[in-house]
């Protein structure tokens, strides 16, 4: 027994010495060195917080630990505070094709009647009760659009009616009437079921639950990626090649904005704990879609905010 105690003591001492050594190395490193050390540490942390079985309280604590690192904190760009109730910070995305902008109770949509398809949706989420009304029973044609897509166009297509502005997030933040408006077909695109109910839903839930808990108000802009001449269609409806999401949050303490962008291929994908593989720059999303994000910001500020991909998924 005494021998076991001695061994445990030596192990504890070795752990303390290692921890102190790593702390000294970290503090003495330049920023690239600190970021490299943080990346290795976060590889271990993510193995726990992203495995799908870790209790929510532990995940929340690990999120707080991650948010203290330079890797996750990233580059916060000085900027004025966005309008508090805006669906997109610093203006809705602009485009070169003259999209029809549709304003709804909890979100806005940029709709392309020629495709026909929504090109983007913007919405704002914030701390909420987590209580949502029962899911509406059906989808509705949006009579404001020239295309007037009907729900029958999706029948036996092999694709889900995939929301851009998500039913749950709009419901818990903006109420039942706003939730019903997410079932307008101007907010819907063809989406494979495994992605719709799997990885894409995971990302939506991550934003409305974990991001909101960590950052408070968060702005989300989301949409499809189409080839110049879409290779796949169901009837007249184009099938996206991929889906993108741009998430931004304003840090009141330093009066600045930061953003992260994801592009996820349109594939049967139920789960992926390594979201960093989908992180891209906002400029990459602009190149894929022809949209211009944050149009009300000066170009120099846009350049700093959009040009570099976040080092790691938030």
What pLDDT sits at residue 15? 39
Number of domains in the chain: 2
Residue 235 lies in a domain: yes
The per-residue pLDDT for range 68-121, each reduced to its tens digit, is 998 898 889 999 999 989 999 999 999 999 999 999 999 999 999 999 999 999
CATH number at residue 251: 3.40.570.10
Joined together, the tokens standing for residue 264 give 């996820």
Residue 225 lies in a domain: yes
What pLDDT sits at residue 75? 87
Regarding whether 135 and 26 lie in a shared domain, the answer is no
What pLDDT sits at residue 4? 63
Regarding whether 240 and 145 lie in a shared domain, the answer is yes
**pTM of the entire predicted model:** 0.89
Regarding whether 141 and 66 lie in a shared domain, the answer is no
Tell me which residue of 306, 290, 293, 269 sits closest to 88, measured CA to CA.
293
Residues of the chain with pLDDT under 70: 1-31
Regarding whether 55 and 106 lie in a shared domain, the answer is no
d(CA 112, CA 118): 6
Regarding whether 87 and 46 lie in a shared domain, the answer is no
List the beta strands (DSSP E) in the chain: 77-78, 100-103, 107-112, 117-125, 160-163, 188-191, 218-225, 233-234, 237-238, 242-251, 256-265, 279-280
Regarding whether 84 and 38 lie in a shared domain, the answer is no
d(CA 108, CA 45): 36
Residue 283 lies in a domain: yes
Regarding whether 144 and 43 lie in a shared domain, the answer is no
Residue 314 lies in a domain: no
Domain boundary residue among 38, 73, 108?
Answer: 73
Domain boundary residue among 55, 73, 91?
Answer: 73
Regarding whether 163 and 40 lie in a shared domain, the answer is no
Domain boundary residue among 73, 102, 127?
Answer: 73
Regarding whether 220 and 84 lie in a shared domain, the answer is yes
Contacts of 138 (CB under 8 A, 6+ apart): 151, 183
Joined together, the tokens standing for residue 118 give 């929504």
Integer distance in angstroms from the first to the last C-alpha of the chain?
Answer: 46
What pLDDT sits at residue 34? 81
Residue 313 lies in a domain: no
Regarding whether 196 and 158 lie in a shared domain, the answer is yes
Joined together, the tokens standing for residue 158 give 């092999």
Regarding whether 204 and 172 lie in a shared domain, the answer is yes
What pLDDT sits at residue 25? 44
Residue 312 lies in a domain: no
Residue 311 lies in a domain: no
Three-class SS state of 188: strand
Whether a cis peptide bond, with omega within 30° of 0, leads into 116 is yes
d(CA 86, CA 164): 17
What pLDDT sits at residue 2? 64
Three-class SS state of 246: strand
Range of the domain at 15: 2-73
Residue 147 lies in a domain: yes
Regarding whether 163 and 269 lie in a shared domain, the answer is yes
How many percent of the chain have pLDDT more than 70? Answer: 90
What pLDDT sits at residue 80? 96
Let me know the angle formed at the C-alpha of 196 by 67 and 180, rounded to the nearest 5 degrees. Answer: 95
Three-class SS state of 11: helix
């Amino acid at each position: 027994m005494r021998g076991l105690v001695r061994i445990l003591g030596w192990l504890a001492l070795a752990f303390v010495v290692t921890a102190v050594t790593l702390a000294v190395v970290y503090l003495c490193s330049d920023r690239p060195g600190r970021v490299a050390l943080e990346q290795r540490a976060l590889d271990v942390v993510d193995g726990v917080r992203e495995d799908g079985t870790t209790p929510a309280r532990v995940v929340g604590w690990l999120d707080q630990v991650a948010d203290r690192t330079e890797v996750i904190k990233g580059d916060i760009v000085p900027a004025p505070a966005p309008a508090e109730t805006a669906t997109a910070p610093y203006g809705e995305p602009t485009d070169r094709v003259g999209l029809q902008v549709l304003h709804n109770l909890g979100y806005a949509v940029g709709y392309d009647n020629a495709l026909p398809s929504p090109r983007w949706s913007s919405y704002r989420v914030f701390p909420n009760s987590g209580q949502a009304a029962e899911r509406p029973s059906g989808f509705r044609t949006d009579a404001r659009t020239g295309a007037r897509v009907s729900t029958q166009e999706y029948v036996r297509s092999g694709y889900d009616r995939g929301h851009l502005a998500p039913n749950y997030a709009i419901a818990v933040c903006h109420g039942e009437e706003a939730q019903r408006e997410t079932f307008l077909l101007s907010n819907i695109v063809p989406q494979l079921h495994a992605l719709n109910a799997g990885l894409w839903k995971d990302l939506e839930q991550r934003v409305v639950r974990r991001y909101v808990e960590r950052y408070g108000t968060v702005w989300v802009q989301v949409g499809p990626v189409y080839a110049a001449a879409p290779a796949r269609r169901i009837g007249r409806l184009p099938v996206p090649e991929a889906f993108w999401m741009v998430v931004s949050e304003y840090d009141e303490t330093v009066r600045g904005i930061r953003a992260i962008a994801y592009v996820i291929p349109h594939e049967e994908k139920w789960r992926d704990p390594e979201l960093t593989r989908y992180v891209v720059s906002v400029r990459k999303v602009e190149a894929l879609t022809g949209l211009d994000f944050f149009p009300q910001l000066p170009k120099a500020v846009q350049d700093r905010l959009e040009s570099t991909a976040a080092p790691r998924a938030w």
